[in-house]
Chains A and B, each alone.
Chain A
Amino acid sequence: MKKEIPLLIVFVSGLFMAVQFFVPHASSEFIYEFVMEWSIIIGIFALALGIWSLVRVSVNKIRRRSENWPYAIVILAGLAAMMVFALAWGGLESYMFRSFFNYVMIPLHATMFSLLAFFIASAAFRAFRARTALATVLLISALVLMLRFNPYLGPLGGPEAGLAQWVLNVPNLAAKRAIIIGIGLGMVATSLKVILGIERTYMGSD
């Protein structure tokens, strides 16, 4: 029963969600909305689990004095501060909550993201070489697109822009569509395997 009940729940839920799509009846819609409310509630509990896991990992790291353990203190302090500001000190509109987000979180994220520009420049310089025929095709495509997006180098509306548009609309489109269709078929196959109980790794077994 330890295996059969979860398999039955998955089978019934999966089958219902698949069939419901084709049944526009009010009762079907009602159950569908009910299921979605439940999904959101379960999702919120998963967030709580995530917070618990983060706290446990961080506390263990501090207790064991693992590598970089002082950062775990910063994580816990940040988590506690934002929770206190949001829950007990004026809520989401409080000066402190907004200030921490605007003057700590945003600059930190922006700094991390800005550094990417330097890594991309360095990586493009060192790795973007015409070593093989395929690498040369990639290099030329990239240059054509970069020229298209550069108003000084790409004549506005000129033949380069047409070439760039062709790269986007023909080879790029064909390759992406093939990938998207492949992923879609893979998702259908995996979903069927889960619904029919062939794929059971979500239960922790092989």
Chain B
Amino acid sequence: MNFFERLSKLDRRWVYLILAGVVVITVLMKFSTPIRINPEVRAIYDFVESRKAGSYLHLAVDYDPGSQAEMHPMTYAIMEQALAKDIKIIMTALSPNGPGMAEQAMLNIMDSVRLHTGKEVVYGRDICFLGYKPYPGIVILSMGQNYRISFPSDYYNTPTDSLPMMQGIVNYSNVDGIVLITGTSGVDYWIAYANGRYNAPLAVGLTGVMAADYYPYLKSGQIFGLMGGMLGAAEYETLAGRPARAMEAMRVQVWAHMVIIIFILVGNIGFLASRRRGGAR
């Protein structure tokens, strides 16, 4: 077996080992990564930034722990920005493990806002979490009619009508916009029903692998903004001037991607060279 054949048939354990090494090294080393802001991320930031105090934002936390590394930084960045501007946040979770993610984000952000700004975020006045109901399509449609159809009470079993911030809030027409953070195909329901049927302004934060699939909706105006994966979250943090979780993780992701690109190139060089030698013979 010649050098090129060896190169193209490198044992997968070497790939794992090199990738693991790069991940560990970049976790341990502290350096920043340059970030270029894409217009689809800036659109979400500008939308939240242009809201007045007392506006309402519906934040749909539809992801499971498996995608929290990419999704949590988006949720945190948007919540921090919105609460700093006194925008009221209505949270829902339509994926089975979403409630745990949403509650964790909500409690952490309430604590961090109190610690860093001294501002008290009060549950029911500034933020509320309506909880989870199965069958996202039906729940999204029902919230377009009235939040109380699906959520007569919130996650903690408090009647929705008794939450001060929900007084006078009937459906999507009473919120300024919806930001959906999701790692599932439930995003299609939000686009078709929340935006398509009820004309609610909708922006999405998706995992990196999903992002390319939703550019058509961005171009058609069905969604006004799109954050893709860790990079999208890092762009948002950069815009907000609060580099945090995503910026930390970008360092690792960027170098892991570089390793994958190098492996693809090496594999192809080996493949093409061995094919040429085979042809020459």
Contacts and interface: CB of A to CB of B under 8 A. Distances in A.
A128 interface: yes
A128 B265 CA distance: 9
Nearest to A155: B36
Contacts of A89: none
B155 A105 contact: no
Interface residues of A, number: 59
B268 A43 contact: no
A30 to B, nearest CB: 10
B66 A172 contact: no
B14 to A, nearest CB: 9
Given A124-B264, A146-B257, A129 B271 contact: yes
Interface stretch (A3-11, A32-40, A73-81): A32-40
Contacts of A198: none
A153 B139 contact: no
A25 interface: no
Interface stretch (A56-64, A111-119, A189-197): A111-119
A122 interface: yes
Interface of A: 21, 29, 32-33, 36-37, 39-40, 43-44, 46-47, 91-93, 98, 101-102, 105-106, 108-110, 112-114, 117-118, 120-122, 124-126, 128-131, 139, 142-143, 145-147, 149-153, 156-157, 161, 168-169, 172-173, 176-177, 180
B258 A118 contact: no
B231 interface: yes
A143 B197 CA distance: 38
Contact of A110 (B20, B36, B65): B65
B98 to A, nearest CB: 11
Nearest to A178: B216
A151 to B, nearest CB: 4
Nearest to B213: A176
Interface of B is mostly: helix
B189 interface: no
Nearest to A50: B134
B93 to A, nearest CB: 12
Interface stretch (B42-50, B53-61, B144-152): B144-152
B35 interface: yes
Contacts of B99: 92
A151 B12 contact: no
Contacts of B258: 150, 152-153
B141 interface: yes
A130 B216 contact: no
A153 to B, nearest CB: 7
B16 A169 contact: no
B6 to A, nearest CB: 13
Contact of B100 (A21, A43, A105, A131): A105
B244 interface: no
A43 B134 contact: yes
B10 A125 contact: yes
Contact of B66 (A32, A113, A139): A113
Given A102-B100, A109-B97, A112-B66, A43 B135 contact: yes
B263 to A, nearest CB: 4
A33 B142 contact: yes
B187 to A, nearest CB: 13
Given A44-B134, A110-B66, A121 B263 contact: yes
B104 interface: yes
Contacts of B66: 109-110, 112-113
A40 B140 CA distance: 11
A109 B145 contact: no
26 contacts: A33-B146, A33-B149, A43-B134, A101-B100, A106-B68, A109-B66, A109-B68, A110-B66, A118-B19, A118-B20, A121-B256, A124-B267, A125-B12, A125-B264, A125-B266, A126-B12, A126-B267, A128-B267, A128-B268, A130-B268, A139-B268, A149-B208, A169-B215, A172-B215, A173-B215, A177-B216
Given A109-B65, A150-B254, A36 B145 contact: yes
B15 interface: yes
B24 interface: no
Nearest to B143: A36
